[in-house]
Amino acid sequence: MPADNLRSLVGTSQTKVGTFLFEFATPGIGQILKAAGADFAVLDMEHTGFGFDTVRQVVRYCQAAGLPLVVRVPSQQRHHISRALDTGADGVMVPIVSSVEQAKAVLDAAKYWPDGTRGVALGLAHERFAMRAEPLVPRFAEQNARTAIILQVEDPRGAAAADEIAAMPGVDMLWLGHNDLSVALGEPGAFDHSDFAKAEQATIAAAKKHGKSAGRLAVDAKQGAEFAAMGYDFVSIAGDVWLLQQAFAAGLATVKKG
């Protein structure tokens, strides 16, 4: 298992910082982020037009850079989860997981026997195309050990079930979907609302109680530092599009100001 595997970072005390990829699936993206000090990246399929051909490419770019890559799949459907993992991604982020039953279904799709029923096709991208003659069982165990499962808490049901979900073997991280959570609470964008704060604290507490990680996307580095202080150990500093816009807008203002 590569030393830079994402799952080895889960539950550790240090803050892991990365960003989302919504637009720039270019050959250099992994090395660009790695050179900047990123600990991980999340390639988003839920809110972009990225398909699995793009996912396959970006996984290779990040592997070449030694940068752990998570794929946020567009749904909880089995074929989205298993295909993302078959590309060689270090883990999957699954949206709107609101119950133990849904979490079990995700794990079943993501893990090989005996931990799940993921369809078997070895010697492909997730095994780095290795020509191996070993028995299946230890290879299943190797893949199960390297596969990080990140479940998004995005509604009141998910927050209420966070403790039970975090307690499940195989669940590695709870990721707060702040926008969807605020909408589901009936207070869109009200991140200082007491109901939002209660759900957020329940999510962080559940992750910490069970030795799992908690993650959230920040709009900028300042907010990211605030989230780390709150107990999130995985923080995404915005996303590729917004980072470029922020940097360019700040530079533009400086130059024009003289």
Q: Can 47 be counted among the known catalytic residues?
A: yes
User: Residues 6 or more apart from 179 whose CB is under 8 A from it?
Assistant: 188, 189
Question: Catalytic residue among 47, 79, 193, 210, which?
Answer: 47
Q: Are strands 213-218 and 234-239 parallel, antiparallel or unpaired?
A: parallel
Alpha-helix runs per DSSP H in 46-135: 52-65, 78-86, 100-110
Residues 80, 44: Cα–Cα separation, whole Å: 12
Contact 25, 43 (CB under 8 A): yes
Tokens of 38: 């990123």
Measuring CA to CA, which residue among 153, 164, 169, 159 is closest to residue 217?
Answer: 153
Active site residues: 47
